[in-house]
Amino acid sequence: MAFTTRRGTATAAVFAAGLFLAVSACSSSSGSGSSSSSPSSSMSTSAGASAAAVHTVKDASLGTIVVNGKGFTLYRFDKDSASPPASHCTGACATLWPAAPATTASSVQGVDHKLIGSVTGTNGAKQLTINGWPVYTYSMDTKAGDTNGQGVMGTWFAVTPTGGKAAGTSGSSSSSGGGYGY
């Protein structure tokens, strides 16, 4: 039993160190981000949106935000650019913040189709943009409705239907990024 406890502690330490390095690669500035999830019950989806690849939901803390077809929050990165659209999340950052794959405007609900586009991401694949901003999911969001990426490093924000930053903080009582040093 002692071996299992040590192994679990070692695994957690390695994970935390890797996460810290990945987050550090995303931004050189320090900041704090909200880091916990909004309960799924605090989000509501418009009728028929579940069939859309990308759609909007009303989050109790953040307002109307954009999610992918599985209900995972989409985020924008302040170090990217919208005009011209360009993604600057590479390496460990891209592992922690996977690019949202481009989709056709016809499979989007709740976002003006004129605002949907794509850019060639840092991995060479087409990445979804909303009003020019490349969008991403966050690997620390483990279930639909999570908003753990909101405010991380002061540069990551849930994206609104106009491509803007969602105001507010993640909907839970936890703060400080889950204790991973950011």
Complete DSSP assignment for 92-121: HHHHHSPBPBP--GGGEESS-GGGEEEEE-
Q: Could you tell me which residues are beta bridge partners of residue 103?
A: none
**Coil, strand or helix at 5:** helix
Q: Is residue 179 part of a domain?
A: no
Instruction: Measure the CA–CA gap between 65 and 121, rounded to whole angstroms.
Output: 22
- As given in the structure block, the two tokens for residue 40 are 């799924």
- As given in the structure block, the two tokens for residue 3 are 């071996």
Q: Is residue 182 part of a domain?
A: no
The parent domain of residue 139 ranges over 2-171
**Coil, strand or helix at 122:** coil
- As given in the structure block, the two tokens for residue 89 are 């999340």
Q: Per mean pLDDT, which range of 32-46, 88-102, 160-174 is the poorest?
A: 32-46
Residues in the chain: 182
How many domains are contained in the chain? 1
pLDDT tens digits along 35-87: 343 333 344 444 444 446 899 999 999 999 999 999 999 999 999 999 999 99
pTM beyond cutoff 0.85: no
pLDDT tens digits along 76-88: 999 999 999 999 9
